[in-house]
Amino acid sequence: MSEPKFTPGPWRINQAETLTRGLDITDGTYGDRIASVPLPKYTSDARQRADAALIAAAPALYRALKTVTAELKQMAQGEDCDHSVGICWCATFGAIENAESVLRDAVTSPHVARLNDQAT
């Protein structure tokens, strides 16, 4: 799996420094803006604040998923299901496969590849 090229965390949520209402997700080290989440004018902004919190947590979530996946993979290595006695690793193997797919997509999705091509 290729290494991620995204800005390492921590990411922070700040009030946007633009003319529009919103939240900026910024690099915790330099304060560079990574993303912006606009806040609605006339409705509750709870959903947008929750979206901003999830976006800001992305680097930590990526690292945590990568760590848990590696630990589960090591723990399950060499294990086989024996359904006749109630030993089943099927869900664990499926979870590992799903997590590895999500991690791979985070660094190699077609959207990321297209953006990388445009930047060069």
Q: Write out pLDDT tens, residues 3-55.
A: 778 888 899 998 876 656 789 999 988 889 999 888 877 767 888 889 999 99
Query: What 8-state DSSP symbol labels residue 116?
Result: H
> Do 118 and 63 belong to one domain?
yes
> Do 35 and 63 belong to one domain?
no
Give me the domain span that covers residue 18: 1-56
Question: Among residues 56, 76, 92, which one ends one of the domains?
Answer: 56
> Do 37 and 3 belong to one domain?
yes
> Do 9 and 38 belong to one domain?
yes
> Do 65 and 42 belong to one domain?
no
> Do 7 and 41 belong to one domain?
yes
Does residue 100 surpass a pLDDT of 70?
yes
107 vs 1: which has the higher pLDDT: 107
> Do 77 and 36 belong to one domain?
no
> Do 50 and 69 belong to one domain?
no
> Do 63 and 114 belong to one domain?
yes
Q: How many domains does the chain have?
A: 2
> Do 41 and 68 belong to one domain?
no
> Do 52 and 70 belong to one domain?
no
Tell me the pLDDT of the chain averaged across its residues.
Answer: 84
Q: What are phi and psi of 15, to 5 degrees?
A: -60, 140
Question: Among residues 56, 83, 100, which one ends one of the domains?
Answer: 56
> Do 33 and 84 belong to one domain?
no
State the pLDDT at residue 113. Answer: 56
| Termini Cα distance of the chain | 22
Q: Which are the contacts of 65, defined by CB distance < 8 A and separation ≥ 6? A: 99, 102, 103
